[in-house]
Each structure stands twice: as C-alpha cells, then as structure tokens.
Structure 1
Amino acid sequence: MERIIEEIREDLDRRIAAAADRLADRTLAEDAAYAALIGRAELRERLHRQLRQALEGLVRTGRGLPVELSDARATGALRAGQGVPLASVLRGYRQGGRLLWETLTETVAAHDRAALPRLLPGAPLLWEVLDRTAEAAAEAYRGAEAVRGEREREVRAALLDGLLEGRDGGEGPSVPEAAARLGLPERGRFAVVVLAAGPGPGGAGASGAPRVLWRLRADGETGLVELGHHPLESLRELLAPLGVRAGVSPVVTAPAELARARRLAALALRTAPASGGPRTALLDERLPQALVAGEPELAGRLRQVVLGPVLALPEEDRRVLLTTLGTWLACRGSTTYAAQRLYCHRNTVANRLRRLEQLTGRSLADPAQVVEVALAHAAVVQRAGEEEDAYRPKPLRDLPRPGGPTR
C-alpha cells in the first residue's frame, strides 16, 4: 500500500488540497459553530494539514511506526480556546476521514484501476489512525477546556470579590464592569447571603429560585443573590436545605451597594440562632440583636449596667429570670401568653418580672426602659450563644395583634 501511495503522491497531494477546499466549504455551510467562530482560510489550512497528517499516519502504521499526534493535540487545544464544540471537532475528523478515503481510491483508480484491491487492507488501518488522532484531539480539547474553566472560575471569583469588598477602579475592573461581566443588571433587586462554616451551597439553586453567585471564603460561604421578582423572605426556603446558620442583608438596588450589603449580611449572621428554629436571620427582622452584635464593647457594658445584678445570681435563678424575660419580650409584654409558654401561672410570671425590676432598677411599664432591658437581654443572648439558647426570645405565631402589653 505504501508503494501505491508513493506512485500517486503528486496527483494525490493535488487532490487532497482540493478536498480540503470542499471540506472547508461544507463545514462552514453545515456547522453553525464553525461558521460563527472560524474564518475560511484558517479552517481550510487546518483541514488540509489534518488530511495530510492522516495520510502520513496511514503510511507510518503500515510500517509499524507510531502515529504522530502532536498536530491533532494542537488542533484540539486550539478549537477549545476558540469555543468550537467538541462534537463539531470530532465530526470534522469523521468527515475528513471519509473524504480522504474517497480521494485516495479515486486517485488510485485514475492511476491504475487494477491496483484498487491492493488498497483495501489500508481501510481498517486508516480508521485506526483516525480514531487515534480524534482521541488525541478530544483529550487535548478537554484538557484545554479544564484549564480555561479554572481560569474563568478564578476571574469570576475575583470579580465577585471586587463587588463584595467594594473594590472599584485601580488595577481591576470598576464595579459596573465587574457587574456586567458577571451578567448582573445595572439596576435590580440584590441581596447578599453569608453562611457560617459548614457544608457547601450545593443544595441551593433549585429551578425557579433566585440566581445565586457563590464565593468560598475561609470563614464560610458568601452568596450574591439576584432576587428579580422573588421576595427576600424566599431565601429562607432556598437556604434551609443547607442546614447551616445564615445571615441575609436587606435588598439593595445597585451593584455598588453590594459591599455594604455583605457587611450587613455578616452582621445578620451573628444574630442567627445557634440551634432550634429557623437558622436564617434576615437583618431587618433582627435589628436590635444586630445593633448589639455590631458594638461588642458597648454590648458588654449594657449587659453589666442593666442586667449585672441578675447575672450575678446563682445559675438556676439567673436562668429562670432571663428565660422569663425573654419569653415575656417575645410575647409582646403579655404575662398571660408568657405563662402559657412557660407552663406556669401568670402570677408567677408577674412575680419574676417584679423581681427583675427590683434587681435592675428598671420599670417594665416604661417603654424607654423596656427598650434598654430588651437590648441588654439581646446582649446576654449574644454572648451566651448556644450554651444558654433558652434565653433567646423565639417568634410566636398565636399572639394578639400589637396594641399594648397585657400584664
């Protein structure tokens, strides 16, 4: 077979060049990806080289030599970088193989039709060469795509960091440029979610849910949420499957506000319950707790000045009074509802509250002093964390509408 090819080499080279022209035109007509991404001259040159390499591979295989695959690898990496789908690349190899065999048989027939049977053993060898070259191209394509994907992830992470940290200008893109490259609109409804350290956010992002761009950080996950028409409260359902504590910022309307939103989400996370009940804290629903969490030094002073005498009590007395206070606050000042929650008589609740008033020197009938006591209680809960989570007021659904406390 090698001898036949050498005898028709000059004519075969001319026909292969013409075949490359036809294959380039056919590819551009039938494959939208090539038509959109590759110029005809570049495509024709690459196809011509591909056909010649396949022919040389056939000759080398007949000699028992390995097929040269460097050109196929270069083609695979090139097409990955250009964004041509792998299916299109492999289709090109199949079409090129068929066209090369047709060209080879036509050239042999034109030279000596009687020599055609001597060419037949070369058919399986040619397809073996084509399989190897296509496989090498696909392997290089996937490798280049993996590298490109990693680079894109790094770029995306840097863009997210710029938005979430408020970096604008300098050596990196501006906030509007970063937002545009991440596919975010100039104006919209955005929020930021900060998760405590725990499982990754793989459970979030169900169909129909808001779009979330996640960023892994050393202390947990941060998510930039494009809410669209979704209410902010829908993030509770989105985050619930993750099983971790989460803080959610208020809604902001422009990418330039996302850095502030991230700081507020981190503050909201510090108020999220450590155990029991919903673990997602929306900042606007926990402003007193966030106020305390945001000023730890003042919070410590508030605990000591307002509730110091209570904190100095023996552990059981302290727990009873602080739990009663937390429950009474959660019940909007109703001793009746607090008693139901605490499984005791309302007079017991009233007696405990009077003792609190005596110890603190604050009147729970004075709204200003109730605010002070409530903030001090939030500071105690903030410090106690999971160990004394019973102090934490819990949301209750079966309470009367606001209209003044029921003592």
Structure 2
Amino acid sequence: MSPLPPELNEIVRGQLGRLPQLADELARLLSEKEEFYRRLEHSSPHELRKVCEVNLGRAFRAFLEAREVDVETARKTGRAQARLGIPISAALRAFRIAGTFAYEGMIEQAVGPRQLTPEQLLSASATVWHIIDSFSDVIAEAYTEVATDSARYDSKARLALIDGLLDGRFTRPEEFEDAARVLRLPPAGPFVVAYAEPRADDDRGLSGLVDPRSRAVWRRTSEGEVGIVPVERSADLRALRQALDTAGFPVGVSPVVAGLRLLPAALRRARIARACLAPGETGAVGFGDRPVTTMVAGAPKLARELAKEVLKDLLALPEAEREPLLRTMQVWFAEHGSARDAAERLFVHPNTVRYRIRRVQELTGRDLTDPRGISELYLAVESVRLEP
C-alpha cells in the first residue's frame, strides 16, 4: 500500500490509542446490524470485543506501516465463525461494516487544523477498501477450508458407520438408530446387499448402475464394492437385479433381510453369490439362484477336494483330452441334459457330445441315469468351473 500523508498518520495513531473503546463500539454496532452477532454478543461478549480489537488493530497498523494487512487473525476468525454456523454472507457483511466504521471514525477526527483534502480522503478510502477486500478474500478461503474439512469428516464418519454395520460391530439399538438416521436408511429394511469386484478402470462400479433414488449406500475398498440397498417392494428388487445384470463384472446379491442387524450375514451371502460366477462371467447372481453352485462356492476348499476325488481319472488326462470332456459336461448340464442343444453351443455333432458323456461316465464311475451320480458329477464339474 502507498504511504499515508502525515495528517492521516496522526489520525490513525489517535485511533490506535482509542482501540479498546472503538472495539466496544464496533461490537455493539455488529450486534445491532446482524442477528448472528447479536447472539454472539449475548453469549460471548468478551470474545466478540476481542476479535474486533485485534482486527481493527491490525488494520490500523497496516495503515501506518504502508504494508499489506496481516490476515491470519481474520482467517482464524473466519474458521471459528464457520464452525459456529454463522453464514459467510453475515461474516462478509460484518467486515464491510467494520471497514466503514473505521473509515468514518477517521473522517470524524479529520476536523479543524487536520482537515483532509479530497485527494487525501480518496487515498484513505481506497486503502480502507483494499483492507476490506483482503479480509473478505481470506474469510471466503477460511469458510471453504472449514467446508472441505467438514465434508471430509462427514465422509469418513459415513464410511465408519457403513463399516460398523457390515462388520457387525454395532450391537445396541441406539447404534443402529444413529446409523439409519445418518445414512438415511429405513431402520427395519428390508435390504439386500450387493457385492462386486469392479475392474480397476471402471469408475462407475455398482453405484453407477443403480437408480440414485434407491437410497442405496455404497462402500468401495481395495477388495471390492458393497452396496446396502433398500428394497421395500418386490418391484424394487426386480429393478435392482435388472440394473446389476448389465454390469461388465460379476455381482453377487444377498437374500432380502429385515433390519440393519442382519447386514453382516447378508454380506457373507452376497460374497458367496458372487463366487458362483466363474472367471470371465459377468452380470448378477443371487444367493440361492443356483443352489448346488452356491454350496460349492460357500465351501470351495471342501468342494475342490471332492471334485478331485470324483474326477481324479479324468483330471489325470492330458489337457487336450481333458478340457473338451470337462467343457462338454459343463454345457450339457447348462442345457439341462440335452445333447442336441449342447452340440449347438459347442459346434459339434450330437453324437460327439454323447461319446464324450459316455467317456466321462467310464472315467468317473458315475451313471448319469442315476440321480446320485448326476448330483456328484454336477458338484464336481461346478467346482472345476469356478476355479480361477
């Protein structure tokens, strides 16, 4: 800032000498002009006067030293007022009121032999508004900082609540009530949990597939993405399944559960449902949509042991012989035991399918006309299909 004329310097020094009085007057003025400061004046009168005194003092000293005003106190004031819930519009008006108050106070002192010229008054006015602008800029920055901090805290708090629900850490009714209120979930549900492992390059994930009006809550981690989705009507569940079926990655959906307390169990079942999809398969599968496959996915180690026992002679074959047999059995089961339909999918003759099935029966000792033999082979073939 430009140096002040000697006459104005003398006036500013005089105002500094009256600083406590001026701070009292400004605090009263602010409480008269702004409702929020009236409340602050009532609850913390000394605090408001202290803030007025410090900021006025810094402004007057910046006048005298012809330098930029020290705005750190204003920044602290802005952050404190933002946390108190004082609107930024009220805070900015307060600094304009304070600037006008300081300017008019100096002009009142410019009487008698210290009468200022129009040029000097213009210089003083420009300096005052430059200081007001500096304070206003830093106040706006302080409010933005607090809003960012608050959003970051709110986000962390939401994630902590979601984790608490899904991990089963909450046990008391009031904990579930608080979580439902903050996350805006219906406390009694009903809900389903969706679980997926989106591709690393998929920015949308599950949440990008589902109607935002569903009031779903999402949690994404390095392992995968989880959604808690209210489904108060059967139509809600149908719409959700249709949306998730379009996913370019595998998605598991839990059974419908009532109440937030059952979400950990629902998540476990959603993970099992997702495991029912083999590598390369996409879309959504619900827990229990494929009962035998669900059992295989729910106990994968045990299923692999049984599969190795049932298919040991088949698995011992060279890959070129083994893979067509396994693939044929997978397609034959998928086509409900129809050799003709399986042949169409495999691009072979139906007799080729029949030959391969007889070969599998010979190798495994299982008869595909016997329900027990069919179930044992199906379990074993599904276990192999789901292996990475």
Q: What CA deviation, in whole Å up to 9, does each residue of 1:156-193 have, x standing for no partner?
A: 222222110111249x9733433333322211232223
1:323 aligns with 2:324: no
- The structural deviation recorded for 1:113 is 10
1:332 aligns with 2:343: no
Which residue of 149, 152, 157 maps to 1:150? 152
Matched residue, 2:76: 74
- The structural deviation recorded for 1:345 is 2.6
Matched residue, 2:183: 182
Which residue of 224, 239, 256 maps to 1:220? 224
Give the TM-score, by structure 1 length.
0.77
- What RMSD in Å do the two structures reach over aligned CA positions? 3.6
Mark the runs of 5 or more structure 1 residues left unpaired by the alignment: 29-33, 386-407
Q: What CA deviation, in whole Å up to 9, does each residue of 1:262-291 have, x standing for no partner?
A: 111222222233215x24433232432221
Matched residue, 1:396: none
Matched residue, 2:374: 370
1:234 aligns with 2:240: yes
Quote the Cα distance in structure 2 between the aligned partners of 1:8 and 1:318.
Answer: 97
**Equivalent residues of 1:192, 1:262 under 8 A apart:** yes
Matched residue, 2:268: 263
One-letter amino acid of the structure 2 residue matched with residue 196 of structure 1 = E
One-letter amino acid of the structure 2 residue matched with residue 285 of structure 1 = D
Aligned 1:56-71 pairs, distance under 5 A: 56-63=57-64, 64-71=66-73
Aligned 1:356-395 pairs, distance under 5 A: 356-383=360-387, 385=388
One-letter amino acid of the structure 2 residue matched with residue 249 of structure 1 = S
Aligned 1:75-114 pairs, distance under 5 A: 75-98=77-100, 100-102=102-104, 104-105=106-107, 107-108=108-109, 114=115
Quote the Cα distance in structure 2 between the aligned partners of 1:191 and 1:233.
Answer: 13
> SS of the counterpart of 2:195?
strand
Report sequence identity in percent.
30
Quote the Cα distance in structure 2 between the aligned partners of 1:99 and 1:296.
Answer: 77
- The structural deviation recorded for 1:93 is 3.0
Quote the Cα distance in structure 2 between the aligned partners of 1:373 and 1:321.
Answer: 12
> SS of the counterpart of 1:194?
strand
Quote the Cα distance in structure 1 between the aligned partners of 2:201 and 2:218.
Answer: 9
Matched residue, 2:5: none
- The structural deviation recorded for 1:39 is 4.7
Matched residue, 1:272: 277
Matched residue, 1:2: 9
Matched residue, 2:318: 314
**Equivalent residues of 1:162, 1:168 under 8 A apart:** yes
**Equivalent residues of 1:58, 1:122 under 8 A apart:** no
Give the TM-score, by structure 2 length.
0.80
One-letter amino acid of the structure 1 residue matched with residue 299 of structure 2 = E
Q: What CA deviation, in whole Å up to 9, does each residue of 1:169-224 have, x standing for no partner?
A: 49x97334333333222112322233327438742346645334333434233333
- The structural deviation recorded for 1:320 is 1.5
Mark the runs of 5 or more structure 2 residues left unpaired by the alignment: 1-7
Q: Which moved more, 1:119-128 or 1:7-16?
A: 7-16
One-letter amino acid of the structure 2 residue matched with residue 272 of structure 1 = L
**Equivalent residues of 1:193, 1:246 under 8 A apart:** yes
